[in-house]
Amino acid sequence: MIILKRFLLLLQFMTTIPIPVNQDVGDEDFGKGLALAPLIGLLIGGVVACAGYVLNMFFAPAISAVLVVITYILLTGGIHLDGLGDTFDGIFSNRPKEKILEIMRDSRVGTYAVLVTVCILGLNAVLIYFMISAHMYFTLVLMPVAGRIGSVVGAAVSEYARSEPGLGKSFIDYCGLKELIIALIISIITFFSFRGFTGVFLCIFMFLSAVLLVKFLGRKIGGATGDVLGAVCELNQTIFLIISYLLVFR
Of the listed ranges 58-67, 164-173, 195-204, the least confidently predicted one is 164-173
pLDDT given at position 21: 62
- Long-range CB contacts (< 8 A, 24+ apart) of 108-114? 109/85, 110/85, 112/85, 112/88, 113/84, 113/85, 113/86, 113/88, 113/89, 114/85
At residue 22, the pLDDT reads 64
At 14 the pLDDT is 92
Over residues 41-69, mean pLDDT: 97
As a whole number of angstroms, the distance between CA 148 and CA 70 comes to 18
* pLDDT on residue 51: 97
Taking the C-alpha atoms of residue 152 and residue 36, their distance in angstroms, rounded to an integer, is 9
> Residues 89-146: pLDDT tens digits?
988 887 888 888 888 887 788 888 899 999 999 999 999 999 999 999 999 999 999 9
Check whether 81 has a pLDDT greater than 90.
yes
Across 220-233, average pLDDT: 92
Domain boundaries, the chain: 36-245
CB burial of 28-50 (b: ≥16 within 10 Å; e: otherwise) equals: ebbbbbbbbbbbbbbbbbebbbe
CA angle 97, 90, 17 (to 5 degrees): 120
pLDDT at 231 over 90: yes
Percent of the chain, pLDDT > 70?
99
What residues have CB less than 8 Å from 145, skipping those under 6 apart? 38, 41, 42, 45, 187, 190, 191
Measure the CA–CA gap between 42 and 56, rounded to whole angstroms: 21
Residue 156 is predicted with a pLDDT of 94
CA angle, 191 as apex, 189 and 196 as ends, to 5°? Answer: 95
pLDDT (0 to 100) of residue 47:
97
Residue 223 reports pLDDT greater than 80: yes
Distances in whole angstroms, Cα of residue 7 to Cα of each of 78, 110, 135, 144, 229: 19, 33, 30, 16, 18
Q: Residue 110's closest CA among 131, 79, 88?
A: 88
Q: What gap in Å lies between CA 176 and CA 184, rounded to an integer?
A: 12
Average pLDDT over residues 147-158: 94
DSSP track, 195-237: HHHHHHHHHHHHHHHHHHHHHHHHTTTTSB-HHHHHHHHHHHH
pTM of the model: 0.94
